[in-house]
Amino acid sequence: LAACPEVWRAALKEAVDLGDFGRISELVEQIRGDDPSLVEVLASWAYNYDLVAFSQALIGISLLQCTHGQNQS
């Protein structure tokens, strides 16, 4: 997820926060050509309605960015 554009990750976070699996699936399809392995995992989470997995992954990316100084406020 860290390699995905920040705008895309923000849209994914918003969709996850809303529980909008239609939007989540659309976003996953947008990166299909970029990272097939990641898409497979994300598509599986979407298929299983696994908001917890999405949330944990997004939190992990956010924490990683903070520790590397990319998201300082």
pLDDT digits (tens, 9 = 90+) for 12-53: 999 999 999 999 999 999 999 999 999 999 999 999 999 999
pTM score, whole prediction: 0.82
Helices (H), 1-73: 6-18, 21-30, 36-47, 51-67
pLDDT class of 66 with cuts at 50, 70, 90: low
Contact 28, 35 (CB under 8 A): no
pLDDT class of 60 with cuts at 50, 70, 90: confident
Angle between helices 21-30 and 36-47 (to 10 degrees): 170
- List Cα–Cα distances, 26 to 39, 43, 55, 65, in angstroms: 11, 10, 17, 25
